[in-house]
Amino acid sequence: MRISSRAEKIEPFYVMEVAKAAGALAREVAATDRPMIFLNIGEPDFTAPPLVQEAAVRAVRAGATQYTQATGLDLLRERISDWYRQRFNVEVPARRIVITAGASAALQLACLALIEAGDEILLPDPSYPCNRHFVTAAEGTAVLVPTTAAERFQLSAAKVEAAWTDRTRGVLLASPSNPTGTSIAPDELRRIHEVVARHGGITLIDEIYLGLSHDDLFGQTALAIDDQVISINSFSKYFNMTGWRLGWLVVPDAIVPAVERLAQNLFICASTVAQYAALACFEAESIVEYERRRAEFKARRDWFIPQLNALGLTVPVVPDGAFYAWADCSAFARKLGIEGSWDFAFEVMKRAHVAVTPGRDFGTAETARFVRFSTASSMAHLEEAIARLKTLAG
């Protein structure tokens, strides 16, 4: 059977390939004194808090399980609008918010609504691989622009201007970023958007980790810049609802009808039960719990990264958000007699039973030197992982 050229252009998601190998080994060592420690997947070890779980149960019992409108429950859109007002002091009207089946659906809708075949979208290298694949699936071309530690692994206005061609449609940014956990300074983000707007382009920004910012300088939404900025967000990370598959998209008023038509045809709506559950995310009791968890993520970062640096797994930029550490493993790999983060990941998996993510997924700008550690695991797991890495380093 012939596979479409569109599908053939999508590269494997190597994170999941590593995860499969780690899972297989984990079953073999589960009963030993060194079970597998998973620091490879970006999923909070926390689950939805009690009020959210209870809201889901109430929805099921009340029979509130039928389709919603494609743009989502009006009440949930209002709650998110209130969230922007209270948390970020930004007015985002509910009519511009579209509830989606996770941030993935939000990205798909945005790309399909705005990208023509052959359009080029600029992304930083390194960046989350699925973002560029959404561009490809919309028959656009993802153009990875190399970045450096000195640039916090983020694009600048100067680099966007230099990379812009007649085929460029816009930029797709992430702040905070996966895999680096770094954000774009608000002033620089404003300058980037000014360059994009001057060229008549679009500014797409992935803000799914925004709630997990640890620095007030960076913890601001790009929606404060201009109502033409398009923001993708999610209930997965800050709100700890990964498997619930719920996110949202903020678009300019003029784009809402097109996005709604696409959503009606592609998804009908996001999970109704998840939407009713998410209403409870914004209760005061839930927010207190989310903030406690955010502080825990910061404490993990503050302990873990110095430990990595001491081992020679150098983190060149301290992440200001999310729960990742982007570490140069070159020196450590040489101690093990190997080269590159791909072999390093499998060697550490095999010898220390610690799963990490090699840089291969995230681009080509020296990513072969880097691995991504996820600090979304418990402090006990992080401490044990460091102990094993110390033993491995000799």
Whether 50-282 and 5-47+286-393 are alike in CATH topology: the answer is no
Can you tell me which residue has the tokens 């990875």?
Answer: 144
**pLDDT in the model for residue 10:** 83
Mean pLDDT by 10 residues, the chain (394 residues): 87 82 91 93 93 98 98 98 97 98 98 97 97 96 97 98 98 98 97 98 98 95 97 98 97 98 98 98 98 98 98 98 98 94 95 96 94 97 98 91
**Residue-level pLDDT at 41:** 86
Distance CA 108, CA 204 (A): 12
Q: Where are the domains of the chain?
A: 5-47+286-393, 50-282
Q: In terms of Cα–Cα distance, which of 117, 206, 194 is closest to 160?
A: 194
CATH of domain 5-47+286-393: 3.90.1150.10
- CATH fold label, 50-282: Aspartate Aminotransferase; domain 2 (3.40.640)
Which two structure tokens, joined as six digits, stand for 257? Answer: 């009808």
Predicted local distance difference test score (pLDDT) of residue 24: 92
